[in-house]
Amino acid sequence: MKDSKKNIEYAVYFLNLLASSLFYSYITTNLLEMNFSNSLFIVVLSSIASLIILGDTRYTRLLEKIQIRIFPILGLVIAIFLLIVSGKVNGIVLYLTAFFLMEIVVSVLLLVFQTTILKDEMSLTVGFLNMQLIRTIAVLFGFFIGTILGQLNYKNLFFYIFLVVIILNILATFNYSDKSKQIKEESTEKVKGIHFYFMIGFLSTATVLWIPLLTKEFISEKMVTISWLPFVLPGVASMLFIILQKRRTWFFDSMFMELTFIPLFIIFIVSRFLGVFPIIQVVIFSIIVALSLSLGVRIRKTFLELNIKNNMKYILQSLTVSSAFISLFFSLLGTYERLVEVMLAILCMSCVCFMIIRRRDFK
């Protein structure tokens, strides 16, 4: 019975990640057709949504009082409303509003199931690794669907597949209750280890910052047909690396990741400045992403253990918010590409050096 409940939790977690990916693809595709190419604004909206949820977990707790099964239904209502009124009102405002509301709905669901999974698993390491694996699979699956539909020019199928995912989400959560509401309310104390926010933020930003830059390299080298490689290969590498760690648990606690990360990052940055063949750059970057995600799991685990008496939802959401705003900061510096690359590389390597020096804290 317990294993069945865990499977449902992981399934719903996957469905929400997939729903988020599909809806994002649908919204951005339509906005691009309306000549709205300011992707930074989407990042800002996503960051604000994360901040609202953080405030709710600490202060108002209004969203927590709503039954969990209501949120997928709200997602369905937003989607149907978008379908009905699209073309009748200002398209850009409508799509941005729908994205913002859907971001809140999906983020609440993800937060609930992240918390429940970590509480149900015997080990925080296993819980975090499983969620990272599911997230990677969902992103790859969403990207695959997006690529196929984009080539076939069936953009509306994004929406209909999204509706199917939302309906499955409703069925999966219909009899589900958020057990964190059934236990004594957790306290919200002063957070310990503020530096962990920056470490997670820098490593998370590193996993996404270079993807569009590497894609641009492929396009400039007239390799458009395989310009998807910077999106897919890091995901595949991360997935294989997580599976390896799940099968060889000692590997997660070894120093291999830290000692490999720094020299690889130096090689990668040098290859960027020397203009090395893009495929070689992507291969190196993919290994770096796999290492970054696993190091991020270790940091999250340590941070959660340090704040174990605190409200888990608040701690998890605060990590999401810090990563979102650090990514936003580096996005604002996008015009200074080389400077940002060097700056972020130095910060990431400094974080890993800190992990080596403070080895005892990350076991």
Domain boundaries, the chain: 2-181, 195-362
| Residue 325: closest CA among 137, 49, 98 | 49
Is the per-residue pLDDT at 283 higher than 80? yes
Percentage, residues of the chain above pLDDT 90: 36
Is the per-residue pLDDT at 189 higher than 80? no
pLDDT at 111: 93
Torsion angle defined by CA atoms of residues 132, 137, 140 and 141, in that order, rounded to the nearest 10 degrees: -140
**DSSP label at 122?**
S
| Residue 277: closest CA among 226, 238, 337, 236 | 226
d(CA 138, CA 168): 15
At residue 24 the predicted structure's pLDDT band, cuts being 50, 70 and 90, is: confident
pLDDT at 182: 47
d(CA 159, CA 23): 7
Region 248-265: mean pLDDT is 86
The 10s digit of each residue's pLDDT in 203-238 is: 999 888 888 888 888 888 888 788 788 888 999 999
User: Is 2-181's fold the same as 195-362's?
Assistant: yes
CATH 3.90.1530 fits domain 2-181: no
Report the predicted TM-score, pTM, of the whole model to 2 decimal places.
0.87
Structure-token match 């202060």, residue found:
59
Helices (H), the chain: 2-33, 39-55, 70-85, 91-120, 124-152, 156-173, 195-220, 229-247, 249-252, 256-274, 278-306, 312-332, 337-357
pLDDT at 280: 94
Domain 195-362, CATH class in plain words? mainly alpha
| Position with higher pLDDT, 123 vs 205 | 205
pLDDT at 8: 82
